[in-house]
Amino acid sequence: PVTPETVTESEAYVLFYQKWDEDEDLTKQKMLKEWSKKDHDTDKDEKYHLLSRKWLTTFCWGEESGPIDNSDVVCPHGYFAPSDTVHMAGTWVPQSVWEIIHK
């Protein structure tokens, strides 16, 4: 048992843990590599998809992002949200990048 004296003489500390999923980490690396390659690609005929910057940030920083959520950039009907902020809230990703993160 711990005595009250031991508690009063001890220093408090907090540990922070971050979940790590090896498969998700590999997916992120693959996505970033593909996106970087596409940024330097001269073939601009590829299809692009609108992606929420909010979701992308959550995904990239290791939080549990869940399935792609574009609700801040598209309306429930799947069209662009009727807002001026849609251009700031979303980014365009190439088809090949979309396929990596959509799985």
Domain boundaries, the chain: 21-102
Instruction: Dig out the tokens for 42 from the structure.
Output: 């001269």
In this prediction, residues 8-29 reach a mean pLDDT of 85
Burial 78-92 (b: 16+ CB within 10 A, else e): eeebeeeebeebbee
Residue 85 has pLDDT above 70, yes or no: no
Strand, helix or coil for residue 2: coil
The dihedral sign for the CA sequence 88, 89, 95, 98: positive
Is 21-102 assigned to CATH 3.30.70.2660? no
**What's this model's pTM, rounded to 2 decimal places?**
0.69
Would you say how long the chain is, in residues?
103
Give Rg (Cα) of the chain.
21
Q: How much is the pLDDT for 38?
A: 85
